[in-house]
Amino acid sequence: MVNRPAELPWTAGLGAVLCGLLVFRRRWPIPVLACTGLGSVVYLAFGSPPRPLLLTALVALFTVATLSERRTAWTAGAITAAALAGSSLLSAHWPWLLPDVLGVLAWSGMAIAAGDAVRSRRAYVAEIEERARRAERNRDEEARRRVVEERLRIARELHDVLAHHIALINVQAGVAAHMLDSEPQQSRTALAHIRTASRSALEGLRTTVGLLRQDGESVAPTAPTAGLAQLDELISSFRSAGLVVETAVEGTAAALPDAVDLAAYRVIQESLTNVHKHAGPATATVHLDYTGTELRLSVVDDGRGAPSVDAGQGHGIIGMRERVTALGGRLAAGPRTAGGFQVQACLPLPKDDRS
């Protein structure tokens, strides 16, 4: 076929316009594809060779496939390929018409497939990056959660250890000051109790602070060693401070898991401390019931002081409830209708520890 010189000016102008439109293909992919496709149809309708300006429509089609959903991309590609192929069939100036039409369809399909592959690759990389960001956020949240839990645990230990001993020191200091002149021997006994309580407080504080100074996970122990094995010693310290404490045990005492043993001890310790601080002259009864599936304990007093001072508002009741609920147990605390105050807790035992 002989090239017609008259084709050159308008072909160059059309090519410049279509290439200029490609600059905006990422911002407006569908409109640019429509314009370049329409220009290519016009270009082919006048019998021009199907080689140069078809690239603009193919580049726009590739961009649509990379930026749009698969269904949209293949729909736009099918419409564009059909328009280009139809324009080719209507042209009467082409020799070897059938190979040219097949070539237009093949190049259009390759542009869509390449763009779809790029889009899939980008989506895959974006998903991997999003998973990495989510994993990083989860790690940060888990780290913050562990820090908060550890702070609460340390706070509970400090409160339970120090509140008990400081309450005893306060009472014995008052006794010593009151009896200093009239009964020196009683004052010396009170001072001895103060010394014992302060030593115990320092030991408990040293143990708790020692947990914060551990450098590695291999260091043991990881929690203060306190449990019902020290219950008699605990009750003796309250009796020496003037509080009447009675105990009752039902069922067969069994070895308890460390967490349950510590929680039971701390609940009794905090409950007796509150009785000593708020109930005035009172008798406290500590009751333990080993049912085989759970440990039930209660601390009841018949005081007439201010039993509701710490009824759910202070750190003591909150700390006890946190300890018990963390193990899947239940705790109830409040004034009794007959007077006084009661704390009741149920601590479930793991299956391996049930008798």
Domain boundaries, the chain: 8-215, 228-348
168-181 burial, b for 16+ CB within 10 Å, e for fewer?
A: bbebbeebbeebee
Is the pLDDT assigned to residue 310 strictly greater than 50? no
How far apart are the C-alpha atoms of 299 and 266, rounded to whole Å?
A: 12
Q: Using the structure block, give the residue that is written with the tokens 């109790």.
A: 193
Is the pLDDT assigned to residue 61 strictly greater than 60? yes
- 335 close to 348: Cβ distance less than 8 angstroms: no
What is the SS3 string spanning 318-343?
A: HHHHHHHHHCCCEEEEEECCCCCEEE
How far apart are the C-alpha atoms of 185 and 187, rounded to whole Å?
A: 5
Provide the edge-to-edge strand list for the sheet that holds 341-348: 244-250, 283-290, 294-301, 341-348, 330-335
Is the pLDDT assigned to residue 311 strictly greater than 50? no
Query: How high is the pLDDT of residue 345?
Result: 92
**Whole-model pTM?**
0.49
What's the one-letter identity of residue 344?
Answer: Q
Query: Which ranges of 213-314 would DSSP assign to H, the alpha helix?
Result: 231-240, 258-278
**Helix (H) / strand (E) containing 296:** strand 294-301
Is the pLDDT assigned to residue 217 strictly greater than 70? no
Q: The domain 228-348: what is its CATH number?
A: 3.30.565.10
Instruction: Supply angle C-alpha 265, 250, 269, rounded to 5.
Output: 15
> Which tens digit of pLDDT belongs to each residue from 320-346?
888 888 888 999 988 888 788 999 999
- 331 close to 325: Cβ distance less than 8 angstroms: yes
- Band (77; pLDDT cuts 50, 70, 90): confident
Average pLDDT of the residues of the chain: 76
- Band (221; pLDDT cuts 50, 70, 90): very low
> Which tens digit of pLDDT belongs to each residue from 94-140?
544 566 677 777 777 788 888 888 888 888 888 898 888 888 888 88
Beta-bridge partner residues of 299: 286, 343
